[in-house]
Amino acid sequence: MPIFIHMESRRQKKIAQLIKEEMGTFLQREGANYYGSRFVTVTDASVTPDLAESKIYISVLNEKEPEVVVRLLNSHISDIRKRFGSLLRHNLRIIPKLEFLLDDSLEQVFRLEEIFKNLK
């Protein structure tokens, strides 16, 4: 039985990159309204093939419980989508449904560096 791997189309990649860049700018300007003075960066974004849904991966630095920031953002998702949509209205016909997810890859890198440091 053949296994089919879904590849992102050029359009999906282009829209995902646009969402990543614009959401990063949006959170720099408006993020304090949702999560206070925490340092949040957008690390990646992906969209479904129909461009109806987008997952936005964020990294929260120097925070003991970064999941709290993700929950705060997702609890205000309708307001964020509305305000974010007004920024992208000239680039996208339909603003995708947004979901924030925690990207903990940076923490994993720090943990691995610590392990390697201890091995020496």
Domain presence at residue 112: yes
Domain presence at residue 1: no
Instruction: Over range 3-11, report the average pLDDT.
Output: 69
Domain presence at residue 51: yes
**What domain range includes position 68?**
10-119
pLDDT (tens digit, 9 = 90+) per residue, 58-99?
A: 999 888 888 999 999 999 999 999 999 998 888 888 899 999
The pLDDT assigned to 116 comes to 78
Domain presence at residue 4: no
Q: How many domains does the chain have?
A: 1
Instruction: Over range 26-39, report the average pLDDT.
Output: 91
Domain presence at residue 64: yes
Domain presence at residue 3: no
**Residue 53 CA: distances (Å) to CA of 40, 45, 75:** 21, 10, 17
Q: What is the CA radius of gyration of the chain?
A: 17
**Domain at 113, CATH number:** 3.30.300.20
pTM: 0.82
